[in-house]
A and B are shown apart, each in its own frame.
Chain A
Amino acid sequence: MRFFYRPLTFAFTLMASLGVAAQTDTPNTATNTTPNTAPSSAAQQLYASAQQDLLQLRVLLKNGNSQSSVGSGFLIGNSNLVVTNFHVVSQIALEPETYFGEYKDTSGKSGSIELLAVDVLHDLAIVRIARNGSGFFKVPHASANTEQPALVKLHQGQHLYSLGNPLDLGFTISEGTYNGISTRGFSDQLMFTGAVNSGMSGGPNVTADGQVAGVNVAHRRDGELVSFLVPVRYVQALLSRVTSDMAPPEDFKPIIGEQLLEHQTVMVDKLLEEPFSIKSLGPYRVPVRESDQVRCWGNTDSSAKKAYTIASINCSMESAIYVSNEMQTSHISMHHKYAHNKKLNVMQFSQLATNMFDGQVYSTAKSETITPASCTEDFIRHNNISLRALVCAEAYHKFNGLYDFTLITASTDDSQTSLQSMINIQGVAYDNGMKLISLFLQGIDRAEADKTDEPTITPASTPTSAPANGEVAP
C-alpha cells in the first residue's frame, strides 16, 4: 500500500513544476512578443558600454586566501592600467608580504593585480592587470612635466552616474547630480547627490556622455545621498606619472611617507596663513582657528542648580588622510574648557579642575602604528598667565619624520576659575608640531584688567548639537 503513494507524489511534483514553468514563462513570452520600443535610459546605455571596463578589486590574505577588503576600479582607455582608491589597496601598499590583490570583471573573469602608483592625499591608486580596456573610460593626460589637456566641465545639477560593486552584491550603476566642489579638506572633492556605497570605492563616476568626472570615494553617514568624488584632474595627474610597462616600486612606505610629509607642510602653512583668532572664555583669551577646513563649536553648561559652570569651544579639522584602518592622520583639533566656581569650596573646586585635567592623555605600548607617548610637563609663565602644561609626542613607526602631538594646559593663576586647553596634532613634522604648539601656547592669555570679573562667555557659535562628522569611505 505504501508504494502506491509514490507515483501519486511524483505526479503532483510534475504538475507543480509545470505550473511554475508556465508562470515564469508568461512575462518572457510577453517581452518576446512585444519588442522593446521605449528608448533605453542614459544609465542603461552607459552601463551597457562601460561594463567590460568595470572591475571589482579585492585584497586577499596571502595566508588563507580570505578576503580582506573589496572595492571597485576601472580600466583607462585601451591600456592595462586600472584606477581605484588608495584605501581599497592600502594593505597591498603597506604590507605586501601579507596581502595580495585580485580583480574580477563583469563577466566573472579574474586575475591578479599589480600596484604601480599611489596618491594618498587624494585617495587614488593605479594598478596594472593582464588585460586591456575597450577604450570606454578616457582620461586625457600628457607626460608629467607638460601641460595636461582640458577635462570635462561640470555644472551644478548635471546628471552623473557612479558605477561599482556595492557591498559585494554585484555591479550597479547609480544616478545622481553634481553639486559643486567641497572645500572642507585641503584638496577639492566633488559633491555627488547620489548613492555611493561601500564596495563602490574606486569605481568611476561619469557624465551622461561617458566622460569620467571623478572617482567614487566616500559618503556622509549623517546625510542622505551626500557622496564625494575625487575630481578626475587628480587621476590625470597620477596617470601622467605612470606608464603601462613601468616597474612597480619595491616599497611604497617611503613614497607614502613623502606624500604625507609634503601634505603636512601644506596643511600647517594653510592653518597658519593668518594668526590664530583669539576668543574670550571668561577672563581668559584662547586661540582658535576657524576656516574652511577647521570648524568650531561652542557649548556652555550653566544650569542654576550646579555649583559651577563650564563653557567650551571645540575646533576640529574636517578632513583626515586615510592611510590604513589603524591609521588616519593629518588632523588637528583644539579644545578649550573654562570652569568657573559658583558655590564650591576652594579645595573642592581644585578637585573639579583635577578631574578635568586627569586622564586626557594616555600612552599605549601596543600600537603598531605609533610609538608610546614621550612627555614633558612643567609650570610655565608667559604674558599674563601661568599654566601647567604637558606635551606628549609620538613617532610613526613606518613613516619617517611624521609625529603626533598632544598638548594640554591648565591655568594655575586663580583659585576660582580654571581654563584648560588642548591641541591634538596628527601627522606633522617635528618642527611644525613645535611651531603649532608654541603659537597655541602664546595664544592662551588672560586680560589683565578683569581678574575678578564675572565670566563673559562668547563661544565661537552655539549649535544645538555637535557635528556628526561621519564621513566614511565606501
Chain B
Amino acid sequence: MNQPVFIEQLTPDGEVLHRTKVTHLPARIGRAYDNEVILDDPHTAAHHAQVELNQLDELIISDLGSYNGLALGKNRERFFVVDGEHIYRLGHTHLRIRTADYPVAAEVTDSTNHHWEGWLPALTGLLLLLMTGLLSTWLADLNQGTLSKYLLELVSVFGFAIGWSGVWALFSRLFNGHARFGRHLFIVSAGLAFLELWEHGSGLLAYAMSWESLQTFSAHPMIFICAVVLYFHFITAGNKQPKRLQLVLAAIAILGSAIAMTKEYQASNHLAGELYMSNIYPPAVRISRDHSLDEFMNDMEALKEKVDNARKTDPKE
C-alpha cells in the first residue's frame, strides 16, 4: 500500500469526531493501547477489528472475533470491503475508512453570508422596528396621544425583539459556537415588520378588491410568516439540514392553522377567524364594483336555506 488510510470516528449524525491517519497496514482498532486506533467505547473489544489489504489488494475491515461484531446497517459480517462511503458500526462506535485519493465534493459557495453579521444587521433590524412601531402606534393613535405613549410602545417592541433574539443567540452559541445576535435581531425585526405589513396590506387589498377572505382568514398567512422567521433563526443557529427543517416547520405551520380553524369552528361554526371584513378604508382605495340593493337582498334570500339547514332539530310543520 503506497498511500495513507484515514480511519474516521463519526457521530450518529455523520459528523467526524476524530480522524486517524494510518500509514502501515494492518491497523488494529479497539480499546487496548497497542491498537493504531484506540476506542473509548465499552461496547467494543480490546482488539475489535482491523483494517488490512486482502489477496485481491482490496482494503477490508475485518472482525477480530469480538462479541458485538462488525455491522453495516443491519448486516453483521465477518468482514467488509471498504469503499469510503459506508459507515461501519463497532459496538456504539461509527467508523468510516477513506484513502488519500478519495475524491471530495466541490467547494460550496458561502451560504452563511458572513458579511451580514454584527452591528449592520442589528442596526437595520432596530431601524425596521422603529419604523413599524411608529407606524402602527400612529395608525392606532385616535386620541392624539403624547410622546410618552409612542416611546412606551417602542420600548415594549424593542424589549421583545431584543429578548427574543437574545434567547436565539444563546441557542446559537451553544450549538454552533457563534452567538450571531445581530443576525437574529434582524430576523425577528424583519418578521415583525412583515407581520405588520401583511396586516395592513391584506386589509387594504381585501377592501379594495372585495376579497373578504383575505381579512377573515388572516391568521394563516401570519402563521406562515412566523414559520419562515423560525426557519431563518434555526439556519442561523447552525442547522445543517435545511430541507428537513423546511418540512418540519411546514408541518408545524399546517398543524397550527388546523388547530386555529378547529377552534374557530367550535366557537362559531365558521372556519374563518372573523365573521366579516371589518376594515373600512377611504373611498379612493376601492377598485371592486358596487352591487345594487336588489342583489344584496337576493343574497340575503339565499341565506335562508343555509340557516334552515343549520337547525339541530327539525321543528314540526
Contact = CB atoms under 8 A, between A and B. Distances in A.
A392 B299 CA distance: 11
Nearest to B139: A351
Nearest to A405: B300
Contacts of A396: 315
Interface stretch (B8-16, B55-63, B185-193, B273-281): B273-281
Interface in A378-415: 378-382, 386, 388-400, 403, 410, 412-415
Contacts of A343: 144
A430 B302 CA distance: 11
Contacts of B308: 395
A1 interface: no
Interface string B100-139: 0000000000000000000000000000000000000011
Interface residues on A, range: 35 or more
A353 B280 CA distance: 6
A346 interface: yes
Interface stretch (A163-171, A173-181, A227-235, A358-366): A358-366
Interface string B295-316: 1110111111011101111011
Contacts of B139: 347-348, 351
Interface in A19-76: none
A438 interface: yes
A365 B144 CA distance: 39
Contacts of B210: 378-379
Interface stretch (B38-46, B89-97, B285-293): B285-293
Given A354-B278, A393-B300, A393-B304, A371 B292 contact: no
B270 interface: yes
Contacts of B306: 374
A362 B275 contact: yes
B283 interface: yes
B268 A412 contact: no
B20 to A, nearest CB: 67
B280 to A, nearest CB: 4
A365 B282 contact: no
Interface residues on B, range: 35 or more
A430 B304 contact: yes
A377 B212 contact: yes
A412 B287 CA distance: 12
B246 interface: no
B286 A373 contact: no
Interface stretch (A249-257, A292-300, A456-464): A249-257
Contacts of A364: 267-268
B280 A354 contact: yes
A387 B266 CA distance: 31
B284 interface: yes
A152 interface: no
Interface in B230-255: none
B45 to A, nearest CB: 67
A415 B278 CA distance: 16
B140 interface: yes
A395 B142 contact: no
Contact of B303 (A308, A346, A349, A393): A393
Contacts of B143: 306-307
- Point out which of B212, B282, B289 has the most chain A C-beta atoms below 10 A from its C-beta: B282
B269 interface: yes
A362 to B, nearest CB: 6
B275 A375 contact: yes
Contacts of A426: none
Contacts of A257: 315
Contact of B290 (A354, A386, A391): A386
A378 B291 contact: yes
B303 A376 contact: yes
B300 A400 contact: no
Interface string A337-356: 00000011011111111110
B85 interface: no
B307 A412 contact: no
A125 interface: no
B315 A254 contact: yes
A363 to B, nearest CB: 4
Given A348-B139, A354-B280, A379-B291, A254 B316 contact: yes
Contacts of A362: 268, 275
A357 interface: yes
Contact of B292 (A354, A363, A382): A382
Nearest to A437: B300
A418 interface: yes
Contacts of A344: 142
B141 interface: yes
A430 B308 CA distance: 11
B283 A393 contact: no
B268 A372 contact: yes
A361 B278 CA distance: 10
Interface string B253-270: 000000000000111111
A434 interface: yes
A359 B312 CA distance: 26
A158 interface: no
23 contacts: A307-B143, A343-B144, A348-B142, A352-B142, A353-B280, A354-B278, A355-B142, A361-B275, A363-B269, A371-B310, A374-B303, A376-B296, A377-B277, A379-B210, A379-B286, A381-B291, A388-B277, A393-B300, A393-B303, A395-B307, A414-B283, A418-B280, A434-B301
Interface of A: 251, 253-254, 257, 306-308, 343-344, 346-355, 357-359, 361-366, 371-382, 386, 388-400, 403, 410, 412-415, 418, 430, 434, 437-438, 441-442
